[in-house]
């Protein structure tokens, strides 16, 4: 919308205020306002003299987000937008860039924090999070605050980081004015409500009279949206040999009318369906085999595998099952659910269920993220994914990951899938002349195929070095031919590989990093960027520890100084990771 001109018959501050309110209003809000003012004139009410209202300067609001995959960051933006409408002047800060001492000057503070790993802060936020929890954290006496926590009830440490930050801010003297809300994967509705409530509480007094009420009504998280693309599968290839115990599918998707505008480092969220045979077993166990409507709904749109503590509690509440109630009362439920799924609850503690009771134990089926393994500059209207089938056994039952087995077993070449772009502006390529080091074992190598393709297509002059690892050279060398070609044409300068099961002693990428430590540190000293992608539980931590040891050894540093050297890389955003 065009801004209200400076020549309008209002004071400069008032024009500013109007632009802030009307400029960001939706067409519906503007139409309402126009109608309201017209109605006011028609009724004559506008001629009633009012005392002149002075335009007060907007009150500051500090919004800090701790995010890995961008959800908290996006909500911070939503909050800022809503806050402006309530006479607040928001400043958004990534926790990764925060100087903790700056918080003491804040008057009002909102923290939106996700939990990662097993109850850990998002990678980029670790340093500041530890400072906040540490003894040196500044007092925050009287600062009004609220915390919104993002998480996933499938994890034992549900929203642990949001919970700890909330407690910590209070312990440091902050005044909690908005109660924390802990959001599950379908966070859109609860988060929008929380934001709507929070801005009202945090708004300066009397701001209520000057605002446009915004409808933050619940939006279903998995609802079809324009952002969802349907793509045709044009390649579906298992990159492991038939003698490998793994199955890793290279999936090439073709988009009619253009691929989503992705960049190297971005992911696609894939909307999968459940395994119909799992749903059949679940319905049979629940005595609901004949319910075809429920079957269809469960296959397509409900998370019927995750067993959260909340689901166990709901089961106890809705069915009154004696032994489930006892499990909770004895404090054993949290341990019991480890490695189990919904079907274990229903088969181990059978009781008459109806469709509503069973549905109440489930949540919407969330899409799964997959790093994009291609560059649009090389593949045009396609996007490539690399999907490893998750299969394991626990508590005497064979289990299959929902989305990865949907890809591996149930979609075929010529079929269609639904995906949504998930951008990651924290994992992009640097300037073309910068050198890059990429550490990506297993499916962690996917984004680096995109990096290498992009650098080839753009003729980037920077050197690139890839560390890859998997189980065996013969059966598990993902994209082997691609790397050979890239080494030949110069898109890849060098490559080190670690195959853990080819030698009696297991060799992983971190061992290769150690072996090559002198050159690695030299690359980093001359400005190279260091990227890590893949397993978060062990690999990412081991790689970081190996790099710290490499610095200590090559530069003869004390362990603390070597740690500082890697922390400096992180601060400079030259140590970047996308781990899961
Ligand atoms: C940003 C990002 C990028 C990603 N990129 C890729 C990628 O490029 N390629 C890729 O393959 N994946 C990638 N993933 C992971 C992917 O999103 C899915 O998590 C993965 O495919 C599993 O999903 P699923 O639906 O098959 O399994 P789910 O149905 O979600 O089941 C997985 C769950 O099963 C349980 N589980 C798994 N193994 C075991 C075991 N051995 N013992 C006990 N329990 C177990 C765990 O609770 C685990 O959370 C990425 C994730 C993120 C966040
Ligand atoms: C690898 C991985 C680990 C996670 N660990 C936890 C966890 O321990 N506890 C939790 O509540 N949520 C966990 N989550 C869920 C995230 O917190 C959730 O997806 C959140 O919306 C991410 O927000 P962000 O995009 O701002 O990072 C995890 C998600 C992933 C992919």
Distances (CA, A) of 453 to 27, 212, 248, 386, 436: 42, 48, 20, 15, 14
Q: How far apart are CA 54 and CA 51, in angstroms?
A: 9
Q: Give nearest CA residue, ligand 2 atom 19.
A: 151
Distances (CA, A) of 198 to 86, 145, 561: 10, 9, 42
Tokens of 368: 């799964």
CA of 116 to the centre of ligand 2 (A): 4
Q: How far apart are CA 15 and CA 19, in angstroms?
A: 6
Pick the closest to residue 158 from 363, 419, 399 (CA basis). 363
Q: Is the CB of 70 under 6 A from ligand 2?
A: yes
Q: Is the CB of 86 under 6 A from ligand 1?
A: no
Sheet order of strands, 267-271 included: 368-371, 267-271, 416-422, 228-238, 248-254, 382-388
Q: What is the largest CA-CA distance in the chain?
A: 90
Ligand 1 pocket test, pick from 390, 420, 421 with the greatest ligand atom count within 8 Å of Cβ, gives 390
Helix axes 559-571, 539-554, angle to 10 degrees: 120
Distances (CA, A) of 294 to 276, 284, 353, 382, 430: 12, 12, 13, 35, 49
Q: Is the CB of 72 under 6 A from ligand 2?
A: yes
Q: What is the signed CA dihedral for 165, 170, 175, 181, rounded to 10 degrees?
A: 40
Q: How far apart are CA 202 and CA 198, in angstroms?
A: 6
Q: Is the CB of 424 under 6 A from ligand 2?
A: no
Q: How many helices (H) and strands (E) does the chain have?
A: 22, 20
- Ligand 1 atom nearest residue 373's Cα: 8
Tokens of 427: 């994992």
Backbone angles phi, psi at 514, to 5 degrees: -65, -45
Q: How many CA atoms lie within 13 A of 524 on its CB side?
A: 28
Tokens of 248: 């890793």
Tokens of 375: 């560059």
CA angle 113, 179, 161 (to 5 degrees): 25
- Ligand 2 atom nearest residue 580's Cα: 1
Q: Is the CB of 370 under 6 A from ligand 2?
A: no
Q: Is the CB of 483 under 6 A from ligand 2?
A: no
CA of 158 to the centre of ligand 2 (A): 9
Pick the closest to residue 128 from 101, 152, 104, 107 (CA basis). 101
Q: How far apart are CA 209 and CA 295, in angstroms?
A: 50
Ligand 2 pocket test, pick from 155, 161, 424, 427 with the greatest ligand atom count within 8 Å of Cβ, gives 155
Q: Is the CB of 514 under 6 A from ligand 2?
A: no
CA of 536 to the centre of ligand 2 (A): 12
Q: Is the CB of 95 under 6 A from ligand 1?
A: no
N- to C-terminal Cα separation, the chain: 41
Helix (H, G, I), strand (E, B) or coil at 380: coil
User: How much is the pTM?
Assistant: 0.88
Q: Is the CB of 453 under 6 A from ligand 1?
A: no
Q: Is the CB of 153 under 6 A from ligand 1?
A: no
Paired with 363 in beta bridges are: 303
Pick the closest to residue 420 from 229, 160, 136, 222 (CA basis). 229
- Ligand 1 atom nearest residue 444's Cα: 8
Could you list the mean pLDDT of each consecutive 10-residue stretch along the chain, which spans 580 residues?
A: 61 68 70 69 52 64 97 98 96 96 96 96 95 98 98 96 98 98 97 98 74 46 66 98 97 96 98 98 96 98 97 97 98 97 98 96 98 98 98 98 98 98 96 98 98 98 98 98 98 98 96 98 98 96 98 98 97 96
Ligand 2 pocket test, pick from 120, 125, 126, 150 with the greatest ligand atom count within 8 Å of Cβ, gives 150
Pick the closest to residue 177 from 110, 132, 95 (CA basis). 110
Backbone angles phi, psi at 265, to 5 degrees: 105, -20
Q: How far apart are CA 18 and CA 11, in angstroms?
A: 10
- The DSSP call for residue 8 is S
Q: Which residues are CB-neighbours of 335 under 8 A, at least 6 positions away? A: none
Helix (H, G, I), strand (E, B) or coil at 93: strand
CA angle 155, 160, 161 (to 5 degrees): 130
Residue 514, judged by CB atoms within 10 A of its CB (0-12, 13-18, 19+), counts as middle
- Ligand 1 atom nearest residue 578's Cα: 1
Q: Is the CB of 58 under 6 A from ligand 1?
A: no
Number of residues written out for the chain: 580
Q: Which helix (H) or strand (E) holds 416?
A: strand 416-422
Residue 208's CB is within 10 A of a number of other CB atoms, namely 12
> Domains (ranges, CATH) in the chain?
1-53 (no CATH), 59-210 (3.40.50.360), 228-271+367-400+414-422 (2.40.30.10), 276-364 (1.20.990.10), 436-579 (3.40.50.80)
- pLDDT reported for residue 6: 58
Q: Is the CB of 523 under 6 A from ligand 2?
A: no
Spatial contact of 255 and 229, defined as CB atoms under 8 Å apart: yes
Helix (H, G, I), strand (E, B) or coil at 374: coil
Pick the closest to residue 25 from 208, 197, 211 (CA basis). 211
- pLDDT reported for residue 224: 43
Q: How far apart are CA 570 and CA 580, in angstroms?
A: 18
Q: How far apart are CA 16 and CA 237, in angstroms?
A: 58
Residue 190's CB is within 10 A of a number of other CB atoms, namely 17
Q: How far apart are CA 355 and CA 357, in angstroms?
A: 6
CA of 305 to the centre of ligand 2 (A): 17
Q: How many CA atoms lie within 13 A of 40 on its CB side?
A: 9
Q: How far apart are CA 498 and CA 471, in angstroms?
A: 8
Backbone angles phi, psi at 527, to 5 degrees: 95, 10
- pLDDT reported for residue 540: 96
- pLDDT reported for residue 5: 63
CA of 308 to the centre of ligand 2 (A): 14
CA angle 318, 323, 326 (to 5 degrees): 95
Q: Is the CB of 339 under 6 A from ligand 1?
A: yes
Q: Which residues are CB-neighbours of 505 under 8 A, at least 6 positions away? A: none
The alpha-carbon radius of gyration of the chain (Å, integer) is 27
CA of 373 to the centre of ligand 1 (A): 17
Ligand nearest to the CA of 578: 1
- pLDDT reported for residue 58: 84
- Ligand 1 atom nearest residue 389's Cα: 26
């Amino acid at each position: 919308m065009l801004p209200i001109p400076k020549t309008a018959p209002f004071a400069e501050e008032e024009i500013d205020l109007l632009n802030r309110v009307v400029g960001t209003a939706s067409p519906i809000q503007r139409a309402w306002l126009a109608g309201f003012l017209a109605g006011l004139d028609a009724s004559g009410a506008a001629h009633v003299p009012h005392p002149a209202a002075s335009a007060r300067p907007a009150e500051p609001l500090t919004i800090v987000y701790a995010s890995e995959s961008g959800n908290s960051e996006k909500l911070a933006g939503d909050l800022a937008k809503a806050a402006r409408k309530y006479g607040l002047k928001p400043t958004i800060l990534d926790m990764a860039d925060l100087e903790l001492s700056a918080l003491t000057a804040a008057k009002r503070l909102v923290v939106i924090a996700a939990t990662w790993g097993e109850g850990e802060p998002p990678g980029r936020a670790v340093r500041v999070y530890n400072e906040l929890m540490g003894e040196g954290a500044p007092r925050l006496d009287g600062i009004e605050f609220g915390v919104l926590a993002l998480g996933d009830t499938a994890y034992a440490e549900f929203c642990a980081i949001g919970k700890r930050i909330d407690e910590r801010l209070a312990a440091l003297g902050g005044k909690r004015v908005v109660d924390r809300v802990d959001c599950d994967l379908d966070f859109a509705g609860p988060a929008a409500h929380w934001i709507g409530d929070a801005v009202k509480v945090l708004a300066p007094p009397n701001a209520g009279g000057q605002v446009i009420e915004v409808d933050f009504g619940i939006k279903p998280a998995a609802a079809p949206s324009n952002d969802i693309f349907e793509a045709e599968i044009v390649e579906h290839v298992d990159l492991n040999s038939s003698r490998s115990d793994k199955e890793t599918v290279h999936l090439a998707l073709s988009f009619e009318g253009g691929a989503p505008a992705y960049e190297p480092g971005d992911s696609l969220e894939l909307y999968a369906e459940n395994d119909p045979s799992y749903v059949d077993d679940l319905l049979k166990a629940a005595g609901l085999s004949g319910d075809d409507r429920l079957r269809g709904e469960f296959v397509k749109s409900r998370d019927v595998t995750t067993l959260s503590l909340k689901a166990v509690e709901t089961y106890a509440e809705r069915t009154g099952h004696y032994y489930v109630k006892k499990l909770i009362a004895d404090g054993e439920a949290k341990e019991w659910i480890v490695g189990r799924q919904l079907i274990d609850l229903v088969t181990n503690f059978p009781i008459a269920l109806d469709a509503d009771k069973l549905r109440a134990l489930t949540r919407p089926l969330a899409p799964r993220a997959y790093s994009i393994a291609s560059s649009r500059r090389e593949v045009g209207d396609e996007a490539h994914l690399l999907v490893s089938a998750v299969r394991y056994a626990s508590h005497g039952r064979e289990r299959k990951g929902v989305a990865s087995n949907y890809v591996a077993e149930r979609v075929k070449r010529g079929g269609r899938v639904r995906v949504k772009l998930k951008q990651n502006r924290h994992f992009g390529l640097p300037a073309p002349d910068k050198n890059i080091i990429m550490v990506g074992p297993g499916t962690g190598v996917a984004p680096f195929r995109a990096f290498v393709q992009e650098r080839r297509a753009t003729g980037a002059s920077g050197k690139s070095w890839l560390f890859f690892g998997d189980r065996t050279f013969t059966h598990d060398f993902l994209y082997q031919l691609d790397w050979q070609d890239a080494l030949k044409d110069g898109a890849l300068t060098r490559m080190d590989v670690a195959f853990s099961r080819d030698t009696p002693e297991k060799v992983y990428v971190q061992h290769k990093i150690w072996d090559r430590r002198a050159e690695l540190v030299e690359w980093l000293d001359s400005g190279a960027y260091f990227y890590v992608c893949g397993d978060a539980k062990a690999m990412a931590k081991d790689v970081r520890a190996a790099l710290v040891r490499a610095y200590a050894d090559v530069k003869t540093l004390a362990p603390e100084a070597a740690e500082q050297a890697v922390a400096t890389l992180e601060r400079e955003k030259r140590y970047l990771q996308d781990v899961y």
